[in-house]
Amino acid sequence: MTSVIDGYLVDPKVSLLDKTRMQAQVLVPVLGALRAELGKDKADAIVKQALRDWSKELFAAIGDGIEGSPRRKWAAIQSAFGEVSGREVEVEILRHDEEAMDPRRDALPLRRVLPRLGEPELGALLICEADFDIASVGDGEVSLERAQTIMQGAPSCTFRYKFAPR
């Protein structure tokens, strides 16, 4: 079965954990070189902005390729990422109705990988922040609030997607 995100993945069979580990293995030395040349604050700001821009453009492009309302586009991307990450991340849905969806993650294997590479913050940039870019595909019909993430040291990731009335 083909997913709406397959065309944007290097190989849809590669797990999200392995894909992020590969991205980090490339980014860590680049970030180190930038820090040596520009200083930590400036290098971190450049890399953060570049990753944020890349993610926003990526999910906007995926959304553009999906027919239907902004909420349908968000739902299609959310579902596809749920299938990809569901192999490694258990999510408990605390609420799902016409007004909101509240998933919670209690374990994130990636949280153990990135500190070993020396850059635990990259997980938040590569994975956590993308949730907001996916929500933005909902173009006002979907919004996201998140109080905490595992990547930032919390015991779970808490999400609250709010849906505009239809």
Domain range list for the chain: 15-163
CA 108 vs CA 71, 90, 155: distances in Å: 27, 8, 10
CATH number of 15-163: 3.30.1380
Cα pseudo-dihedral 154, 43, 62, 15, rounded to 10: -60
Query: Do residues 108 and 158 make contact, with C-beta atoms less than 8 angstroms apart?
Result: no
Question: Which pLDDT score, from 0 to 100, does residue 164 have?
Answer: 94
Query: Do residues 27 and 122 make contact, with C-beta atoms less than 8 angstroms apart?
Result: yes
DSSP states along 76-145: HHHHHHHHHHTTT--EEEEEESSSEEEEEE---THHHHHHHTT-THHHIIIIITHHHHHHHTTTTSEEEE
Tens-digit pLDDT profile for residues 104-160 = 887 666 666 666 667 767 777 777 888 899 999 999 999 999 988 887 788 888 889
pTM of the model: 0.82
d(CA 142, CA 136): 7
